[in-house]
């Protein structure tokens, strides 16, 4: 069964001022992600990656087309019961501690009380924030905040993770950790759908990728197939597909 299905998705932003042109961020996107896959969602800045994710999470209604998670239309809140999401940039409630934040999200997922503490301990350990769990988030560094974000995405033990540039702002060790976490989730049979500009990292962890450019899907396929087809590394493929003149 497919975990994530996108059919003919079109996303338009209508600006508030009258007379401004309608901005089309995604045009006719079709995408399928199967269970257990790690899927890389690539594209230059402004390609429409975040817009697509916003639809998947119900933040923005699709202009046309449909999107489903686990076969449920994304307009239904229940579609989000089994997913974890890490936004592109986040600041969490600064007046809370990491532990309180996770407890709050655990309550929203209605994780039974007995399991809650266990779950919180587990994710804090995973993202290595154990030592700072009782400090308010406003005292965290950017990398620590990013890791707190990762922890909240994992709190409900999700079957599908949607991560918008999970490694941005992290140091090399942090990136490696995130890669490890993704691989670990994959080994547990979870699906990971993430966007990234770190092509080397994508190459190492992803099963399949899609490249989006100006709202349109340019390429989709297994990483190994693409590498073989083009006889080049992912970066070269990426630049070629978006029509960027290659360096000699």
Ligand X SMILES: Nc1ncnc2c1ncn2[C@@H]1O[C@H](COP(=O)(O)OP(=O)(O)OP(=O)(O)O)[C@@H](O)[C@H]1O
Q: Which residues bind ligand X (CB under 6 A)?
A: 13, 23, 25, 43, 45-51, 88
Residue 33: CB minimum distance to Mg ion, A: 18
* Minimum CB distance to another protein smaller for 126 or for 242: 126
Residue 80: CB minimum distance to another protein, A: 5
Question: Binding partner of residue 83 among ligand X, Mg ion, another protein, none, CB under 5 to 8 Å per kind?
Answer: another protein
Contact of 139 with 96, CB cutoff 8 Å: no
Q: Binding to another protein by residue 102, rule CB under 8 A?
A: no
Q: Which one of 89, 224, 229, 233 is in contact with another protein (CB under 8 A)?
A: 89
User: Which burial class, exposed, middle or buried, applies to 218 when counting CB atoms under 10 A from its CB (0-12, 13-18, 19+)?
Assistant: middle
Q: Which residues in 48-67 contact another protein (CB under 8 A)?
A: 54, 57-61
Q: Binding to another protein by residue 149, rule CB under 8 A?
A: yes
Q: Binding to another protein by residue 219, rule CB under 8 A?
A: no
Q: Binding to another protein by residue 92, rule CB under 8 A?
A: yes
3-state secondary structure labels for all residues of the chain: CEEEEEEEEEEEECCCCCCCCCEEEEEEEEEEEECCCEEEEECCCCCCHHHHHHHHCCCCCCCEEEEEECCEECCCHHHHCCEEEECCCCCCCCCCEHHHHHHHHHHHCCCCHHHHHHHHHHHHHHCCCHHHCCCEHHHCCHHHHHHHHHHHHHCCCCCEEEEECCCCCCCHHHHHHHHHHHHHHHHCCCEEEEECCCHHHHHHHCCEEEEEECCEEEEEEEHHHHHHHHCCCHHHHHHHHCCCCCCC
Q: Binding to another protein by residue 85, rule CB under 8 A?
A: yes
Q: Which residues in 69-98 contact Mg ion (CB under 5 A)?
A: 88
Q: Which stretch binds another protein (CB under 8 A): 86-94, 127-135, 168-176, 205-213?
A: 86-94
Residue 31: CB minimum distance to another protein, A: 18
Tell me which residues touch Mg ion (CB under 5 A): 50, 88
Tell me which residues touch another protein (CB under 8 A): 13, 54, 57-61, 77-78, 80-81, 83, 85-87, 89-96, 100, 104-105, 107-110, 149, 152-153, 156, 162
């Amino acid at each position: 069964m497919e975990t994530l299905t996108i059919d003919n998705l079109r996303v338009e932003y209508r600006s508030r001022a009258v007379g401004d042109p309608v901005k089309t961020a995604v045009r006719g996107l079709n995408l399928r992600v199967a269970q257990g896959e790690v899927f890389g969602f690539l594209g230059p800045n402004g390609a429409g990656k975040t817009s697509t994710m916003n639809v998947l999470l119900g933040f923005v209604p699709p202009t046309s087309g449909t999107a489903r998670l686990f076969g449920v239309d994304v307009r239904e809140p229940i579609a989000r019961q089994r997913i974890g999401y890490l936004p592109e940039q986040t600041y969490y409630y600064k007046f809370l501690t990491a532990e309180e934040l996770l407890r709050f999200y655990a309550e929203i997922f209605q994780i039974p009380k007995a399991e809650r503490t266990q779950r919180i301990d587990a994710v804090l350990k995973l993202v290595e924030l154990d030592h700072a769990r009782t400090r308010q988030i406003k005292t965290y560094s950017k990398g620590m905040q990013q890791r707190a974000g990762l922890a909240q995405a994992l709190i409900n033990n999700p079957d599908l993770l949607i991560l918008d540039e999970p490694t941005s702002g992290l140091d090399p060790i942090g990136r490696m950790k995130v890669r490890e976490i993704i691989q670990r989730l994959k080994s547990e049979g979870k699906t990971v759908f993430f966007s990234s500009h770190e092509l080397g990292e994508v190459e190492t962890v992803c099963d399949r990728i899609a490249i989006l450019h100006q709202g349109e899907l340019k390429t989709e396929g297994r990483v190994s197939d693409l590498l073989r087809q083009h006889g080049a590394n992912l970066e070269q493929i990426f630049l070629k597909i978006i029509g960027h003149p290659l360096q000699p």
